[in-house]
Structure 1
Amino acid sequence: MDLQQLRYVVAVAELENFTRAAERCFVVQSALSHQVARLEQELGTRLFHRTSRRVSLTAAGEAFLPAARQCLEAAERARAEVAAATGEIRGRLSVGVIPTVAAVDVPEVLSGFHQDHPQVRIGLLTGASDALVRRVTDGRLDVAFLGLPAGATVEGVEGHVLATDHHVAVVAPDHRLAHRKRLGLDQLADEVFADFPTGTPGRAQTDRAFAAAQLDREVAFEVTDAHLMAALVRSGLCVGLLPEAFAPRLDGVTTIAVRGGPSRAEHVVWSRRGPSPAAAAFLARLGVAA
């Protein structure tokens, strides 16, 4: 068993396709398939179900994948630690970001980090907070920016609260409530809403606020992109609730303060195994001691 075989297995598992996995790994498919088959022979079991239409992990493959990722992370970390010992930050920095991050100008921070550490390979992924936490936990992300209901804790990772924020109502400029300076949740309860998908931390913030006020509401539009939410609001189809610090980035909508509305905390989190040299340097740029 060697690291290259582990890389091939991880690539096939993530892409569910041998051809695309070979392209990612810059090898011909036959070579990748041969190495995966050799590893399966060594382990004495198949890691993948193979059909003409798709590839999926077997139960053994599901058990093998987290350990394979940890081995690759450890190897990458070892190289980075050696480089750091000689005074050079190398390796990778994989950053996860929620779509409504507002406490940090992520592109600006990444640009400055890249100028200071050009040998570090930077990657970025957007997603919901819960999905980003899972990726930090299993080593696929080094650092992630999250938005969670105020007071919520993050399990399985280390973290630091960057800022807390209240939500504002987001309505079309010609909406009947657009002239108001402040609203109560009860004045919004009869509106049709756009919100993030059920079960996500972004949705939990607003659901908790309405539940605490013993109010029901209709969420007709579930979206993962705040800019799409704003477009739906501009069209007059619905209203929304978004963090006050993020809302000014949206064009063509009116924002209104909300009494008793949701609040959230923005966190930056990293692995409990400790940050890599690149991640530690990135956190230091944010003023966060890991």
Structure 2
Amino acid sequence: MEFQQMRYVIAVAEERSFTRAAERCLVVQSALSHQIKALERELGVRLFARTSRRVEITAAGEAFLVQARASLAAAERAMSEAAAAGGRISGTLTVGVIPTVTAIDIPSVLGRFHRAHPDVRIRLRGGGSDEFIAAIVAGSMDVAVLGLPDSIPPKGVNARVLAREQLVAVVAAEHLLAGRRRLSLEELAGEAFVDFPEGTPGRVQSDLAFEAAGVHREVMFEAMNTDLILDLIRQGLVISLLPPALLSSGVDGLRTVPVADGPSRVEYLAWSSFNPAPAAQAFLDGLA
């Protein structure tokens, strides 16, 4: 069994498509399919159920996937440790970034890191703080920028505070509240809101603040994309509570208003508490 076959299986499982997996692995689809079929013959099980339109991983495939990821991670870690011992940083750096990151200029930071360590492959992942923490603990992510309520620090990982900020009300420029100098949560009770999905860290801080104030609010729209959130506000459909730095440079058609008893959040840089890989340590050192 070859490591390349494991990579192909992982790619197909994550992409749910032989075509997209082949594009990701930079091989022709026929070669990728041939290697996976050869692996299935060697193992004596089907890893994927597939038709011309659909690909699903089997129970045997799920079991194989767990160990394949662990084996590849171990092999890559061994190579990067050997390279680091010789003064060269290599391997893979997987970075998680929340949609509302404001404390770090991610493109600039990654650009500097790439120029300093060109042999490191950088993978950038979007998502939520909870899944990033779980991924770091599981060893599938190296570092992440998190956004959490002030009262709920990250657990199970190392972390340092990047920024602490109070959320502001974001409304359309024509909204009746746009000219106010300051608001309270009670004054926002009758408004329709857009927010992140229920239960996600990006929303919890606002839910907790309204609950503590004894104020009910109605979240009419849910979205993970900040551009979509801002566009919905701009259309006058809803308002939101967001980090002020998201609009610090000025956004046409929108206004921000401080909220006296509004929620606050903390941005953290998080990484594994157990023996970070050389690429992760180099990244952390560069941000020190």
TM-score (norm 2): 0.91
- Contact 1:169-1:239 within 8 A present in 2 as well: yes
Which residue is equivalent to 1:34? Answer: 34
Cα gap change, 1:56 to 1:137, in 2 (>3 Å): farther
Which residue is equivalent to 1:258? Answer: 259
- Contact 1:151-1:265 within 8 A present in 2 as well: no
| Residue segments in structure 2 that go unaligned for 5+ positions in a row | none
Which range moves more in the overlay, 164-173 or 39-48?
A: 39-48
Which residue is equivalent to 2:143? Answer: 143
Which range moves more in the overlay, 150-159 or 76-85?
A: 150-159
Matches within 5 A, 1:232-247: 232-247=232-247
- Please tell me the residue identity of whatever aligns with 1:66: V
Deviations 1:47-80 (A, max 9, x none): 2222232111112222222221121112112111
- Contact 1:163-1:267 within 8 A present in 2 as well: yes
**Distance across 2 between alignment mates of 1:152 and 1:41:** 49
1:51 aligns with 2:51: yes
Deviations 1:112-144 (A, max 9, x none): 222222222223222222233344344443211
**Distance across 2 between alignment mates of 1:71 and 1:250:** 48
- Please tell me the residue identity of whatever aligns with 1:211: E
- Please tell me the residue identity of whatever aligns with 1:56: E
Which residue is equivalent to 1:19? Answer: 19
Give the secondary-structure state (helix, strand or coil) at the position aligned to 1:102. Answer: coil
Matches within 5 A, 1:193-208: 193-208=193-208
The count of residues paired between Structure 1 and Structure 2 equals 287
Cα deviation for residue 167 of structure 1 reads 0.7
Matches within 5 A, 1:211-250: 211-249=211-249
- Please tell me the residue identity of whatever aligns with 1:120: V
- Please tell me the residue identity of whatever aligns with 1:61: G
- Contact 1:227-1:250 within 8 A present in 2 as well: no
- Contact 1:147-1:266 within 8 A present in 2 as well: yes
**Distance across 1 between alignment mates of 2:18 and 2:173:** 50
1:122 aligns with 2:133: no
Cα deviation for residue 286 of structure 1 reads 1.5
Which residue is equivalent to 1:163? Answer: 163
**Distance across 1 between alignment mates of 2:272 and 2:48:** 28
Give the secondary-structure state (helix, strand or coil) at the position aligned to 1:141. Answer: coil
Which residue is equivalent to 1:184? Answer: 184
**Distance across 2 between alignment mates of 1:265 and 1:214:** 23
1:131 aligns with 2:149: no
Which residue is equivalent to 2:84? Answer: 84
Which range moves more in the overlay, 135-144 or 46-55?
A: 135-144
**Distance across 1 between alignment mates of 2:43 and 2:130:** 33
**Distance across 1 between alignment mates of 2:218 and 2:9:** 44
Cα deviation for residue 156 of structure 1 reads 4.4
Cα gap change, 1:231 to 1:27, in 2 (>3 Å): closer
Which range moves more in the overlay, 60-69 or 278-287?
A: 60-69
Identity of aligned residues (%): 56
Question: Deviation above 6 Å: which 4+ runs of structure 1?
Answer: none
1:5 aligns with 2:15: no
**Distance across 1 between alignment mates of 2:176 and 2:92:** 50
- Please tell me the residue identity of whatever aligns with 1:36: I
Which range moves more in the overlay, 80-89 or 44-53?
A: 44-53
**Distance across 1 between alignment mates of 2:29 and 2:131:** 30
Which residue is equivalent to 1:98? Answer: 98
- Please tell me the residue identity of whatever aligns with 1:263: S
CA RMSD of aligned residues (A): 2.0
Cα gap change, 1:8 to 1:137, in 2 (>3 Å): farther
1:110 aligns with 2:131: no
Which residue is equivalent to 1:279? Answer: 280
Which range moves more in the overlay, 169-178 or 270-279?
A: 270-279
**Distance across 1 between alignment mates of 2:285 and 2:214:** 43
**Distance across 2 between alignment mates of 1:65 and 1:203:** 32
Give the secondary-structure state (helix, strand or coil) at the position aligned to 2:183. Answer: strand
Cα gap change, 1:115 to 1:23, in 2 (>3 Å): closer
Cα deviation for residue 195 of structure 1 reads 0.9
